[in-house]
Structure 1
Amino acid sequence: MDTTTTTRAVDGLCDTADDRYANFWYQHTDTLVYPAVGAAVALAAGSFLRPSGTSARGVPVGGGTVARGGLGQSRADSGGGSGS
């Protein structure tokens, strides 16, 4: 997220030393729609604090929803279980 405009930035910018960009973590729900790059970020939907046990995963630059894995299946872009 670009902290000066509260809009979504390209994920790679959040890995730099530039204080203008920060990782913003969303609480994943089945109905949450993620913003596209350049779109406004809903600050009430997440936090700047990384949840414990969470690895960095991006969302498509066009935004949208991210499906969860289920019933022992997982997807690279989801928080689904591994089935083990």
Structure 2
Amino acid sequence: MDKTTNVRVADDRCDTSDTTYSRFWYQHTDTFVYPAIGVAVALAAGSFLRPTSGDVFDRGAPTKGGAIARGGLGKARPDSSGGGGSGGS
């Protein structure tokens, strides 16, 4: 997330030393819809602190926004932001 505008940016922008960008974590439910890149992040829906317990997946939220199916028997895991997965950028 761009800290000056609260807009979601591509994940790789948060992997640099540029302090303009910050990881923003979501712990999502089956009905949660992620913002698209370039769209404002709902600050009340997540946290800047990485979760310390449970499974955390920090990549894979759709760049165009949308829901992510949760993993389970016979399903792929949700590589998702901040986002059971949390993900962020």
TM-score, normalised relative to structure 2: 0.78
TM-score, normalised relative to structure 1: 0.83
The answer to whether the Cα contact below 8 Å between 2:60 and 2:78 also exists between their aligned partners in 1 is no
Letter of the 1:10 partner, please give it.
A
Partner of 1:47: 47
Partner of 1:59: 61
Aligned residues: CA RMSD = 1.9
Structure 1 residues 6 and 50, CA gap change in structure 2 (3 angstroms): same
Q: Which has the higher contact order (CA 8 A, sep 6+)?
A: 2
The alignment of Structure 1 onto Structure 2 pairs a total of residues equal to 80
Please tell me whether Structure 1 or Structure 2 has the larger radius of gyration of its CA atoms.
Answer: 1
CA shift, 1:17, in A, is 0.5
Letter of the 1:61 partner, please give it.
T
CA shift, 1:56, in A, is 2.1
Identity of aligned residues (%): 65
The answer to whether the Cα contact below 8 Å between 2:34 and 2:65 also exists between their aligned partners in 1 is yes
Stretches (4+) displaced over 3 A: none
Partner of 1:30: 30
For structure 1, the residue ranges without an aligned partner over 5 or more in a row are none
Report matched runs for 1:8-23 at 5 Å: 8-23=8-23
1: distance between equivalents of 2:60 and 2:78? Answer: 10
For residues 29-60 of structure 1, give each alpha carbon's deviation from its aligned partner in whole angstroms, at most 9, with x where no partner exists: 11110000000100011000000142422311
For structure 2, the residue ranges without an aligned partner over 5 or more in a row are none
Structure 1 residues 55 and 77, CA gap change in structure 2 (3 angstroms): closer
